[in-house]
Homo-oligomer: A and B are copies of this chain.
Amino acid sequence: MNKKELFENIKRKRSFLCVGLDTDIKKIPEHLLGEEDPIFAFNKEIIDATADLCVAYKPNLAFYESLGVTGWIAFEKTVKYIKEKYPDQFIIADAKRGDIGNTSEMYARSFFEHLDIDSVTVAPYMGEDSVKPFLVYPDRWVIVLALTSNKGSHDFQLTEDKNGERLFEKVLRKSQTWATQDQMMFVVGATQGKLFEDIRKVAPDHFLLVPGVGAQGGSLEDVAKYGMNDMCGLLVNSSRAIIYADKTENFSKAAREEAEKVQKAMNELLTEKGI
């Protein structure tokens, strides 16, 4: 999916919501545990209940890997299900990969060739040649970690160099020399509040993937206030607050209600921005 198509979906659905599929076998409703593939059964219901309210799904690889092969089967089935039934959804493999060139090539092969996914999150620590192998696929996106939503983001990402440039700013600046804004997004945590202004100084036009709204406590209003641009430029993710809104047989209905609340707020924010 390219940038224009993504923006069209946002305008049509009045939403820039990404639903995070952090599906944990220990947290899904009990009645699903008897299913042949409980993880996929859960995802399928969540997806069917929310697909008209969001523009993206973000399966978090860790949750699938924690079950080994069984988890990977559920992950692949989930991706295939979204692609076939809801081809207008932007799929993000939240994998935070990154390695030397020949190894990143293999990760790119996994996500873009084997699974035909739109985008993958990538850690920047290893620099240019760890990111570039992901950039040879047309209309596929690399989403580089810039300023994450967690407390540990303060450990290294805010370190200032001799010229006063912070590491996340250097990542934003340097990585823009590796790809256009039609192939690259950045991860910026919703919990970072006013720092979004600093992000937009360095990367005014890029799409940002914003986790941290919901269970992590970030404010959607602040994110929109400081981060939204003329093409929206935001994919705001919510995982736990939506998918675990209820743990009974009613779970997908409750997930829909939560997603609907977010979508309504997003509709207003888009309108305020004139989108």
In the docked arrangement, what's the CA distance between A64 and B185, Å?
A: 26
In the docked arrangement, what's the CA distance between A76 and B73, Å?
A: 14
* Bitwise interface map of A from 123 to 163 toward B, beta carbon under 8 Å scored 1, else 0: 11111111100000000000001001111111111011110
* Of A3-11, A81-89, A108-116, A192-200, the one with at least 4 CB within 8 A of chain B: A108-116
- Identify which of B62, B94, B152, B153 contacts A110 (C-beta below 8 A): B62
In the docked arrangement, what's the CA distance between A76 and B100, Å?
A: 23
Indicate if A226 sits at the interface (CB-CB under 8 A): no
**Identical copies of this chain, number:** 2
- Identify which of B94, B123, B159, B170 contacts A123 (C-beta below 8 A): B123
Indicate if A106 sits at the interface (CB-CB under 8 A): yes
Indicate if A38 sits at the interface (CB-CB under 8 A): no
- CB pair B159 A170 closer than 8 Å: yes
- CB pair A65 B110 closer than 8 Å: yes
In the docked arrangement, what's the CA distance between A94 and B102, Å?
A: 14
Among A149, A154, A155: residue with most chain B CB under 10 A = A155
* Bitwise interface map of A from 39 to 54 toward B, beta carbon under 8 Å scored 1, else 0: 0000000000000000
- Identify which of B100, B113, B154, B216 contacts A148 (C-beta below 8 A): B100
- Please name all residues of chain B whose beta carbon is closer than 8 Å to the beta carbon of A123 when the two chains form the complex: 96, 98, 123, 125-126
- CB pair A156 B151 closer than 8 Å: no
Given the known A-B contacts A150-B100, A161-B162, A162-B162, are A127 and B155 also in contact in the complex, defined by CB atoms under 8 Å? yes
Given the known A-B contacts A159-B170, A161-B159, are A68 and B126 also in contact in the complex, defined by CB atoms under 8 Å? no
- CB pair B103 A22 closer than 8 Å: yes
- Identify which of B96, B104, B160 contacts A97 (C-beta below 8 A): B96
- CB pair A127 B100 closer than 8 Å: no
- Please name all residues of chain B whose beta carbon is closer than 8 Å to the beta carbon of A22 when the two chains form the complex: 102-103
- Identify which of B63, B127, B153, B211 contacts A106 (C-beta below 8 A): B63
Given the known A-B contacts A67-B114, A68-B115, A69-B73, are A156 and B99 also in contact in the complex, defined by CB atoms under 8 Å? no
In the docked arrangement, what's the CA distance between A72 and B115, Å?
A: 14
- CB pair A66 B129 closer than 8 Å: no
Indicate if A264 sits at the interface (CB-CB under 8 A): no
Chain A positions within 8 Å of B, measured between CB atoms, are 22, 24, 60, 62-63, 65-69, 71-73, 76, 94, 96-104, 106-107, 109-110, 113-115, 123-131, 145, 148-157, 159-162, 167, 170-171, 174, 211, 216
14 A-B pairs besides A62-B104, A98-B123 with CB distance below 8 A are: A60-B99, A62-B103, A96-B99, A124-B125, A125-B145, A126-B145, A126-B148, A126-B153, A127-B152, A127-B156, A129-B151, A131-B152, A156-B171, A167-B167
Top 7 nearest A-B pairs by Cβ distance? A127-B152, A127-B155, A62-B106, A66-B106, A129-B152, A100-B150, A65-B110
